[in-house]
Amino acid sequence: MISAIANFLEYDVYDLELTTVKDNSDLKRLLLDTKRKSIIVIEDIDSCSDEKIMVFTTNFVENLDPALIRRGRMDNHIEMGYCRFEAFKVLAKNYLEIEWHELYGEMERLVEEIDMSPADVAENLMPKSDEEDAEVCLRRLVKSLEEERENSSKLAEEEEEKKAELEARRKKKMKKKADLEVKEKAAD
């Protein structure tokens, strides 16, 4: 999404990981050294000067100080979900310059069924060389989605096996406890 915004606005993108910034002066120098209009992606938050779009990302919004994310400091809050067919069509148009392909029927079924982030979908749609056309990129995405489905199925199976194992242990423990209580009553 950030790359798409930057391309549309013809801005540069600077990706800063604040764990590498030692103090505020380092951060200010980094931010002020960018002479052109730019989008700055910061993963752990601070402030900046004008003519810049700041994009802050986190997987843990609940850990942020409410004063930091209030209106006026962070004007737009966007929760990124999984890529569905309408978003896929926009990505395909942007990256492959196509509005329809014979694989769209299969693609619609897959992206509605399988959870994949828009970034992962875009990564698969981006041509890796001048020889790669829409067909190659779409087939790569189909393969990636099918692999994701297999991985998700395996994880779900493993989770079910763990639950069944825990339940079996719990029942065994309860049976041992019941047997012990029976023995103690018989001994009295």
pLDDT tens per residue, range 57-98: 777 888 877 887 888 878 888 888 899 999 999 999 999 999
**In this structure, what token pair is assigned to residue 179?**
């047997």
Q: What is the pLDDT of residue 116?
A: 95
The pTM of this model reads 0.58
Tell me how far apart the terminal alpha carbons of the chain are, to the nearest angstrom: 73
Q: Considering only residues 99 and 47, tell me which one the structure prediction assigns the higher pLDDT.
A: 99
Question: 52: closest CA among 66, 62, 38, 64?
Answer: 38
**Strand (E) or helix (H) holding 40:** strand 38-42
Per-residue pLDDT at 36: 55
Q: 115-133: per-residue pLDDT in tens?
A: 999 989 999 999 999 999 9
Question: Per the structure block, which two tokens stand in for 76?
Answer: 């737009």
* Rounded CA separation 19/22 (Å): 8
Question: Residue 70, Cα to own-chain centre: how many angstroms?
Answer: 23
Burial 134-162 (b: 16+ CB within 10 A, else e): beebbebbeebbeebeeeeeeeeeeeeee
What mean pLDDT comes out for the span 47-56? Answer: 64
